């Protein structure tokens, strides 16, 4: 009588595969890593040469007395320690331009954000011609800042400017918008707000379209009015978008330069001169170490402002 034979049970393979498979996988991963670094090498070299290198060099330069005459012998300059930074804060002109920059940011950032949010809310409620109005608001953003500044300088001319001519029609003697120290900086802020409104409007409009309609309908059923729904439902959900808008606008406004350079040349009486403009002047004068110190003061101001915005506008958990 033949007896049935059973095949021996196959042994389970070890977890992770055989040693040979692991070795091949490791070799493949190392080869892929080397290839990735090789492909990234051109960018890394350019980034190190034109970004990391100059940033580090300017930081070192800010602690020296380097001038334009020392370019040929950069290692022969003397260390100045923190003398450049001390001289900055003792300079009345630097304190003046720092105040101008602070006013520009303190007024311009909230004004731009409020107007952009209002425009975004209005566009979010319409369906017809939304793309047309969105294009109209965004068009100044893609227009050259120099061209925008030249047009606004023409609009604000005291004698031939269209704005003062319109005021003259109703019997109002228009002021010299860019020639009076008390009006020059507000005029520049108005121009910057108008130009940057479109960027934030598009960002806020995208954020508004992500707000769940069910939450708004539930709040309406509970008796919440339009303002209450906006304040207690829409705004809290927009905090990440508001934070992003505040950060990019604050960074841009802290570095404002072209507006005053084209419209007022920093005047009148340095009323529109900014920290970036002051830094530009110092580089033009050949005070490289002093100008580098001014640029790093501006960098610290950007970091501090961004930290404050994250503290105030970060989403609540």
CATH architecture of 91-313: Orthogonal Bundle (1.10)
**In the predicted model, is pLDDT for residue 212 greater than 60?**
yes
Among candidates 286, 315, 291, which has minimal Cα distance to 67? 286
Rounded Cα distance, 123 and 117, in Å: 10
- With 0-12 / 13-18 / 19 or more C-beta atoms within 10 angstroms meaning exposed / middle / buried, residue 279 is buried
- With 0-12 / 13-18 / 19 or more C-beta atoms within 10 angstroms meaning exposed / middle / buried, residue 207 is buried
Position 136 scores a pLDDT of: 86
Pure H helices in the chain: 19-47, 53-61, 83-90, 92-124, 130-142, 145-155, 162-169, 181-208, 213-221, 226-229, 235-237, 239-254, 258-263, 275-284, 288-313
Coil, strand, or helix at residue 9? coil
For the chain, domain boundaries = 91-313
pTM: 0.85
Query: What is the CB-side half-sphere exposure of residue 51 using CA atoms within 13 A?
Result: 6
Position 200 scores a pLDDT of: 94
Position 98 scores a pLDDT of: 96
Position 314 scores a pLDDT of: 85
pLDDT tier at 275 (50, 70, 90 boundaries)?
very high
Q: Is-contact 234 216, C-beta < 8 A?
A: yes
pLDDT, tens digit, for every residue of 7-36? 455 555 554 556 777 778 888 888 889 999
Query: What is the CB-side half-sphere exposure of residue 83 using CA atoms within 13 A?
Result: 9
Read off the DSSP letter of residue 70.
G
Rounded Cα distance, 188 and 248, in Å: 19
Coil, strand, or helix at residue 64? strand
Two tokens, residue 258: 């072209």
Residues 141-166, mean pLDDT to the nearest whole number: 92
Q: Is-contact 279 294, C-beta < 8 A?
A: yes
Exposed e or buried b for every residue in 58-93, given b needs 16+ CB within 10 A? beebbbbbbeeebeeeeeebeebeeebbeebeeeee
Sign of CA dihedral 156, 159, 160, 165: positive
Lowest mean pLDDT among 77-81, 202-206, 241-245: 77-81
Among candidates 146, 147, 172, 148, which has minimal Cα distance to 158? 172
pLDDT, tens digit, for every residue of 110-119? 999 999 999 9
């Amino acid at each position: 009588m033949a007896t049935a034979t059973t095949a021996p049970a196959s042994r389970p393979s070890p977890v992770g595969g055989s040693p040979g498979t692991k070795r091949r996988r490791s070799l493949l991963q190392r080869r892929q890593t080397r290839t990735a670094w090789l492909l990234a090498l051109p960018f890394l070299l350019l980034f190190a040469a034109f970004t990391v290198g100059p940033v580090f060099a300017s930081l070192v330069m800010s602690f020296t007395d380097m001038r334009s005459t020392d370019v040929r012998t950069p290692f022969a300059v003397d260390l100045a320690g923190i003398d450049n930074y001390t001289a900055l804060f003792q300079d009345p002109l630097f304190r003046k331009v720092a105040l101008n920059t602070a006013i520009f940011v303190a007024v311009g950032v909230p004004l731009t954000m409020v107007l952009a949010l209002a425009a975004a809310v209005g566009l979010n409620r319409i369906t017809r011609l939304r793309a047309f109005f969105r294009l109209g608001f965004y068009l100044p953003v893609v227009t050259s800042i120099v061209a925008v500044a030249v047009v606004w300088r023409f609009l604000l001319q005291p004698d031939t400017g269209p704005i003062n001519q319109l005021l003259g029609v109703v019997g109002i003697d228009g002021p010299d918008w860019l020639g009076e120290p008390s009006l020059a900086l507000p005029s520049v802020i108005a121009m910057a707000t108008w130009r940057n409104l479109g960027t934030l409007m598009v960002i806020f409009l995208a954020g508004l379209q992500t707000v769940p309609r069910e939450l708004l309908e539930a709040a309406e059923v509970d008796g919440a009015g339009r303002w209450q729904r906006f304040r207690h439902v829409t705004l809290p959900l927009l905090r990440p978008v508001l934070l992003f808008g505040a950060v990019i606008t604050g960074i841009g406004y802290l570095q404002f330069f072209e507006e005053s350079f084209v419209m007022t040349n920093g005047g009148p009486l340095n009323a529109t001169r900014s920290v970036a403009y002051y830094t530009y002047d110092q580089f033009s004068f050949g005070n490289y170490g002093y100008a580098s110190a001014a640029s790093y003061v501006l960098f610290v101001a950007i970091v501090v402002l961004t930290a404050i915005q994250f503290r105030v506008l970060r989403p609540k958990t």
